[in-house]
Amino acid sequence: MLRAEPLLRIQLVMLASEAQDAALTLARFGLFNPAPCRVEALAESPAVAYREVWLEAEARLSKLLDACGDTGPLDLPDAAEAPSLADLQEVNHWLKDVWIACSDCHENEAQIEEVRSHLGALEDTLAKLEGLNVDLAHLLRPDSLLAVNIGSLPAAELKRVTEALAMTGHLVSRFDQAGDQVFAVIAGARARHDEVRGLLAQAGWRELPVPDELRAHPQAARAWLEAERARMDVQSGAACQVRDGLREQFGPRLHEARMRLALARPLAEAAQAGISGRGGLAALSGWIPRRQLNELRATLDARLHRRYWLDQREPAADDLAEVPSLMRYPGWLKPYVPLVKSYGVPRYGELDPALPFAITYLLLFGAMFGDIGHGATILLLSLAFARRLGRAVWIGTAAGAVSMLFGLFYGSIFGYENILPPLWLSPLHDPLRVLTIAVAFGVGFIVFTLLANVHNQWVAGRVAEALLDSSGLAGLAFYLGAVGVLASWTGVLVVAQPAAILAGLGIAGVAAFKWHETQAGLGERLLVTLIETMETAINLFSNTLSFMRVAAFSLNHVALALAVFTLAHGLDAVGHGITLVLGNIVIIVLEGGIVAIQALRLMYYEGFSRFFSGDGREFVPLRIEKA
Q: Does 250 bind other proteins (CB under 8 A)?
A: no
Asked if residue 313 binds other proteins (CB under 8 A), the reply is no
Assess 114 for contact with other proteins (CB under 8 A).
no
* Residue 472 DSSP label: S
The least distance separating other proteins from the CB of residue 201, rounded to whole angstroms, comes to 4
User: Is residue 94 close enough to count as binding other proteins by CB under 8 A?
Assistant: no
Query: Which residues, 169 to 198, sit near other proteins by CB under 8 A?
Result: 195-196, 198
3-state DSSP call for residue 242? Answer: helix
Vertex 396, ends 356 and 333: CA angle to 5°? 35
Of residues 94, 99, 175, 604, which one binds other proteins by CB under 8 A?
99
Select from 96, 328, 462, 516 the one that contacts other proteins (CB under 8 A): 96
337 binds other proteins (CB under 8 A): no
Separation CA 81–CA 603 (nearest Å)? 49
DSSP annotation string for 63-102: HHHHHH---------TT-----HHHHHHHHHHHHHHHHHH
Q: Which of residues 32-71 bind other proteins (CB under 8 A)?
A: 52, 55-56, 59-60
53 versus 466: smaller Cβ distance to other proteins: 53
Binding pattern for the stretch 203-242 against other proteins, x by CB under 8 A and - elsewhere: xxxx------------------------------------
Decide if residue 535 touches other proteins (CB under 8 A). Answer: no
* The binder of other proteins chosen from 201, 234, 317, 573 (CB under 8 A): 201
Does 202 sit near other proteins (CB under 8 A)? yes
CA distances in angstroms from 264 to 29, 270, 335, 495, 623, listed in the order given? 15, 10, 34, 69, 11
Residue 201 or 574 with smaller CB distance to other proteins: 201
* Closest to other proteins by CB, 172 or 428: 172
Do residues 395 and 335 make contact, with C-beta atoms less than 8 angstroms apart? yes
d(CA 565, CA 560): 9
Cα 444 to its chain centre, rounded Å, is 35
Using CB under 8 A, count the residues that bind other proteins. 30
User: With contact defined as beta carbons under 8 Å apart, do 140 and 215 qualify?
Assistant: yes
For residue 425, which of 562, 555, 522, 605 has the smallest C-alpha distance? 555
Give the nearest distance from C-beta 532 to other proteins in angstroms.
22
Closest contact distance (angstroms) between CB of 168 and other proteins is: 5
108 in contact with other proteins (CB under 8 A): no
Q: Please list, residue by residue across 152-163, b when 16 or more beta carbons sit within 10 angstroms of its beta carbon and e when fewer do.
A: bbeeebbeebbe
User: Contact 82/267 with Cβ under 8 angstroms?
Assistant: yes
- Beta strands 324-325 and 617-618 are parallel
The mark string for 139-168 relative to other proteins (x by CB under 8 A, - otherwise) is: ---------------x--x--xx-xxx-xx
Cβ proximity to other proteins: between 86 and 573 the closer is: 86
Please report, as ranges, the residues that interact with other proteins according to CB under 8 A: 52, 55-56, 59-60, 96, 99-100, 103, 107, 154, 157, 160-161, 163-165, 167-168, 195-196, 198-206
